[in-house]
Structure 1
Amino acid sequence: MTTLLFQTKTTERMGIVVQNNTIKEIMVDRPDNNLSAGTILIGKVRNIEEGLKAAFIDLGLEKPGFLPENEYPLKDKAHFNSDLSEGARTIVQVTKEAYQDKGPKLTANITITGKGLIYLPFGDYVAFSKKIENEAREKYQPIFRENLKGTEGVIIRTHAEKMTVDDLLKELDYLRMKWQDIVESSKATKKIKVIHQPKKSPEQLINRYLSTDIEHVYIDDPQSANVLREMHPNLRDNIIFETEIEKLLPISIDGLIDQILTRRITVDKGVRLFFDQTEAMHIIDIDSSQYHSNKDKKSMVRSVNEIAAYAIADEIRKRNLAGIIIIDFITMRHPKDRKHIIDCLKDAFISDPTRTEIYGFTKLGLLEMSRKRESNSMLELFGEASRNHEMKKNNTSYGYSLERYLRQLQVRNVEAIAIKIHPEVAKTFKDNVIDVLKSSIYVDLYWEVTDQVDGFEIIREGSTNLVNDWLSENDRENIDKVL
């Protein structure tokens, strides 16, 4: 069973997936991350690269977007070059977010996702989720062929089997109208502009898990809860308004972030996992030195690797690792044991909505796999490398962490707090958070800006009198009242 939890009142909006009391996935929306996967916008052609068979599209960012020729609806090369001449405007959609020194990857084959359907204005085909049986395919194929117009196409999602044909056709009309609104919006401006941006939390995350058994959906805003009930009537009784989302989690959000940034973790029975990252790939190592068992060596190795396989799958999903992933399992000589571990990994990833490929073991005994990159990993979002090459929370994350802490103080009826804060954390807080907090919390915040602290450091918190007494005893020249 799946539980979805949404913290939407904070500036950094967060959606969390919990299955079997284990956090499986995190989806984060930040005001400074405005070109996430799925975003549709008007771009301007910067140049065509004949050798790459691609166009570079100006999106108003430092790095242009990359639009391959095979992602353009008109497959004729002449159309690609003429339609996308330098300076031409075009509607594009982000398929992969900007990564390292690369700009976003784009497509002009637009997709608009609904509950049961994915609408493709230029698809010109009917396709199905792999989980839909042949009998259902034979039922839906003629219905949608009859109702599609021109170049339209549609992908029928697993959740469609829980909907009536009438509901699916109504959704097709709704998605078609949504596309027409996007086209009209594009005609109304000549500037580079975002014209459709689905919210990761809760919109995209709920859509990712509609095909699973969703037991509960918790959200911290009553109005948003009502909107979700209208959008998903079949989940109406499962959608619950809850002010304190964190108390429903097995770990606090900031504890979860620290856990994600940790290179070494210990899982069941003392098995330890080490996560490293290079420019080209992620590397995961298994250490069994703390594992104790009375089994023979072969059985012990099989048991350790099995524990590691399921734990690694959880961590890959939670950290949103993507691209090439190499896993160094404890050496197994017998092909049967290797196959068992491959089967364990496949089983562990079966509920992962992101496409994953398990390729098998190399001659050196390393397991090769890959996972589709759709958005940045949680390591890139939350962390940065420290002096000892371990990951630590970055200044942007500390800014949003401070907001969460202040909201917790409000719940505890704490009246005032004084802190020391790093200049970059203070900048994030001022640029993205402070205006929202001024109208929603009533905690007095005093800070001293200094580069002598990582993130922020609490000096005093409690009643207004307690903090004022401390302020009166100290030099207030460098201390500002922020809230």
Structure 2
Amino acid sequence: MRKIILNGRSIEKCAAILENNKLVEFLVESTDQSSIVGNIYKGRVEKVVPGMQAAFVNIGLERNGFLTIDQLPKYKSLTPDEQEKTSISHLLHEGEEVIVQVTKDAFGEKGPRLTMLVGLPGTFVVYLPNESQITVSKKLSEKEKEHWRSFGREICKEAEGVIFRTACARQKTETIQKEFLFLKNRWFELKKLQAAMKRPALLFDHAGLVERLLRDYIGTMSTEIIMNDGSIFRWMKERLSIYEEFVQISLFMNKEDIFSYFHIDQELEGALKRQVDLENGSSIVIDETEAMTVIDVNSGKFTDTKNLRDMVLKTNEMAAVEIARQLRLRNIGGIILIDFINMSHDKDREFIKNKLQTALEADMNFTKVYGFTQLGLLEMTRKKERKTLREMLMTPCPICHEVGRIVSSEQLAFRLERALWEFKGSDYEAVWVEAPQKVVEFIQADNYINVLEEKLGLQIFLTSTERLIDQFNIRHVGSVVEIKERLER
């Protein structure tokens, strides 16, 4: 059973993913998205370069996007002989309005890579409005592949295609068809939006938190979504109607902060610590470096002198399951070395390796477990697609010359915002908050504090202090007069 706790009221939307009542992932929709891959834009062709068989497209970003001839639907429809003789200037002209999707982020002096072979992703399928191809996930069995290829030929019209994702396994054709038609209708809506909006413009935000939740976390297991924002709840209620057999959603009405109620903040604090305690008194220690991540398993207080081998195996087994969870939760990628408690039997090492691999099956990021080295370390890799939890929530500490890390000013401001939401609808007129200078500056910038005061119906008084580094203090809640009197003392 999966549970998703969605906090949509604050400026920074975030979601906690729980499986079997344990936090396994934490997603943040930052106001500063690091990746635009998958986004769909209405753009304008600025320059066509026949010598490069490419064009530069203005999509409203700092650099124009780069579009090659092989990413044009018209080019794909030509025969091989026609393709060899065709110049991009015959298919595209300067000033032309186009719908493009980002396939690769900008890097250095190069702008983002673009395609006109757009794909609208869903939970089970990806709808291809400009490409007549039917593709099935390699992870499905041969029997299932043939079934979905045949079904794809039934539902696709001329010049449109579909990709059947791994989540299609053992699903009903009616369910898949519902999503296919939904995505097809959505494409028509984007076309209408294109006509109404001035260019350049963002038509579809692939990286948006709600979009990502619906795309990656619905359909694979029974899921409950609990959220605290009425507008998002109504939108999702309509959007999820085609997935009603997989998901139920509810609106959190309590006055208490939704993350505090479900103990999410407490779990996140633990996920930022170096040591993780296990139920039997043992622990794992996680050290993240630039080159790799090293994880050490310690027996701690858990000892069994009667059967040392069983004690070691039980501890390593428990550690393997927890390590798999921590890798997802902390979003650790790259090279990972795990120092399990020493096992002298090959059978035991193979058992722990298989246990870790099984625990990693729930991870959507690609992982590969290589096995134990001659030094007895288990080596593995995990694909890194986003910032780690530590990078998202923390910043180098200015006091210890950036040796350690503290909660970032942005994250502390968002925590403060969540705390202030608990005073909405109260009899209080104002609140006085003491916080670090950078947090005060963040909240006062870009009209943030005015928007917050309007939403909460409270006047917010902010004072900075050097006593606090990564904490805030709600000094007083009451009337405006009371707080002004206290500030004048």
The normalised TM-score by structure 2 is: 0.78
Cα distance change on mapping 1:78 and 1:455 into 2, 3 Å: farther
Per-residue Cα deviation, 1:136-165 (whole angstroms, up to 9, x for no partner) = 433221221344356644222355467654
2:469 is equivalent to residue 454 of structure 1:
yes
Distance 2:62 2:304 in 1: 55
Tell me if structure 1 keeps the 8 A contact 2:3–2:18: yes
Of structures 1 and 2, the larger Rg is shown by 2
Q: How far off is 1:358 after superposition?
A: 2.0
* Separation (CA, whole Å) in 1 of partners of 2:438 and 2:62: 21
The corresponding residue for 2:79 is none
Q: Which piece of structure 1 moves more, 15-24 or 385-394?
A: 385-394
Amino acid at match of 1:410: K
Rounded to whole Å, the distance in 2 between the matches of 1:276 and 1:64 is: 40
Aligned equivalents of 1:130 and 1:2: distance in 2? 26
2:485 match:
472
Q: Secondary structure at the match of 2:443?
A: helix
Do residues 41 (structure 1) and 41 (structure 2) align? yes
Quote the residue 1:336 is aligned against. 347
Question: 2: distance between equivalents of 1:400 and 1:114?
Answer: 30
Query: Which residue of structure 2 lines up, in the alignment, with residue 439 of structure 1?
Result: 454
Matches within 5 A, 1:90-105: 93=101
SS at match of 2:386: coil
Query: Aligned residue for 2:438?
Result: 424
**Counterpart amino acid of residue 408 in structure 2:** N
CA distance in 2, matches of 1:298, 1:80: 70
* 1:389 lines up with 2:379 in the alignment: no
Change (3 A) 1:334 1:453: same
1:241 to 230, 237, 251: 251
Residues 35, 207 of structure 2: 8 Å contact kept: no
State the SS of the aligned residue for 1:417: strand
Where in structure 1 are there 5+ consecutive unaligned residues?
49-53, 477-483
Give the residue type in structure 2 aligned to 1:18.
Answer: L
Instruction: Determine if the alignment matches structure 1 residue 463 to structure 2 residue 481.
Output: no
Counterpart of 2:281 in structure 1 is: 270
Q: Secondary structure at the match of 2:319?
A: helix
Asked if structure 2 preserves the Cα contact closer than 8 Å seen for 1:35 and 1:94, the reply is: no
| Distance in 2, Cα, partners of 1:84 & 1:424 | 49
- Matches of 1:97 and 1:145 in 2, distance apart? 33
Say which SS state the counterpart of residue 454 (structure 1) adopts.
Answer: coil
Counterparts in 2 of 1:36 and 1:322: CA distance versus 1, 3 Å: farther
1:202 maps to which of 202, 207, 210: 210
**Cα offsets for 1:110-135 (capped at 9, x unmatched):** 43112331124566543334664544
Is the counterpart of residue 286 in structure 1 residue 301 in structure 2?
A: no
Count of residues in Structure 1 that have an aligned counterpart in Structure 2: 469
Deviation larger for 331-340 or 452-461? 452-461
Is the Cα–Cα contact under 8 Å of residues 96 and 374 in structure 1 kept in the other structure?
Answer: no
Question: Aligned partner of 2:224: which letter?
Answer: H
Say yes or no: does 1:357 pair with 2:388: no
SS of the equivalent of 1:379 reads helix
Q: After superposition, where does 1:254-265 map in structure 2 within 5 Å? A: 254-265=265-276
2:145 matched to 1:137? yes
* Structure 2 residue 417 is the aligned partner of structure 1 residue 403: yes
Matches of residues 139-158 of structure 1 in structure 2 within 5 Å?
139-149=147-157, 152-157=160-165
TM-aligned CA deviation for residue 432 of structure 1 = 7.0
Once residues 122 and 71 of structure 1 are traced to their aligned partners in structure 2, the CA distance between those partners, rounded to angstroms, is 11
Matched, 1:30 2:40: no
Q: Which amino acid aligns with 2:321?
A: Y
Give the equivalent residue in structure 1 for 2:16: 16
| Partner in structure 2 of residue 229 of structure 1 | 237
Q: Is the 8 A contact 2:55 2:67 kept in 1?
A: yes
C-alpha separation in 1, matches of 2:252 and 2:341? 44
> What secondary structure is seen at the aligned counterpart in 1 of 2:456?
coil
CA distances 1:213-240 after superposition (whole Å, capped 9, x unpaired): 3242212234433332332234378221
Give the Cα separation in 1 of the matches to 2:85 and 2:341: 54
Q: Which amino acid in structure 2 is aligned with residue 242 of structure 1?
A: F
Q: 1:470–1:226: structure 2 CA closer, same or farther, 3 Å change rule?
A: closer
Distance 1:87 1:449 in 2: 52
Contact 1:327–1:368 under 8 Å retained in 2: yes
Q: 2:57 and 2:298 mapped to 1: Cα distance? A: 46
> What is the CA distance between 1:175 and its match in structure 2?
2.5
Please list every run of 5 or more consecutive structure 2 residues that lacks an aligned counterpart in the other structure: 49-53, 77-82
Bigger CA drift: 284-293 or 261-270? 284-293
**Per the alignment, do residues 342 and 98 of structure 1 end up closer, same or farther by CA in structure 2, a change over 3 Å counting?**
farther
Q: Deviations over 1:15-44 (max 9, x none)?
A: 221111101111111223374553233679
Q: Which amino acid aligns with 1:14?
A: C
- Pick aligned residue for 1:168 from 176, 186, 190: 176
Q: d(CA) in 2 for partners of 1:173 and 1:383?
A: 42
Distance 1:23 1:167, change over 3 A: closer
Secondary structure (helix, strand or coil) at the match of 2:416 reads helix
After the TM superposition, which of the residue ranges 243-252 and 447-456 deviates more from structure 2? 243-252
Distance in 2 between residues matched to 1:62 and 1:453, nearest whole Å: 37
2:121 counterpart residue number:
113
Please tell me the root mean square deviation across aligned C-alpha atoms, in Å. Answer: 4.3
CA displacement 1:267-303 (0-9 Å, x = unmatched): 2222222222223333322222343233533333222
- Contact 2:370 2:378 survives alignment (8 Å): yes
Q: Check conservation: 1:399, 1:428, Cα contact below 8 A.
A: yes
Q: d(CA) in 2 for partners of 1:275 and 1:200? A: 30
Aligned residues with identical type, % of pairs:
29
Q: Distance in 2 between matches of 1:275 and 1:102?
A: 36
Range that drifts further, 205-214 or 166-175: 166-175
Query: What CA distance in whole angstroms lies between the structure 1 residues aligned with 2:286 and 2:47?
Result: 39
Question: Which amino acid letter does the alignment assign opposite residue 329 of structure 1?
Answer: F
| Alpha-carbon distance, 1:458 to partner | 1.7
1:69-108 equivalent positions in 2, closer than 5 A? 93=101, 108=115
Counterpart-to-counterpart distance in 1, 2:348 and 2:56: 47
Q: 1:249 to 1:444 in 2, by over 3 A?
A: closer
* 8 Å Cα contact 2:432/2:477 also seen in 1: no
* Gap change, CA 1:472 and 1:170, over 3 Å in 2: closer
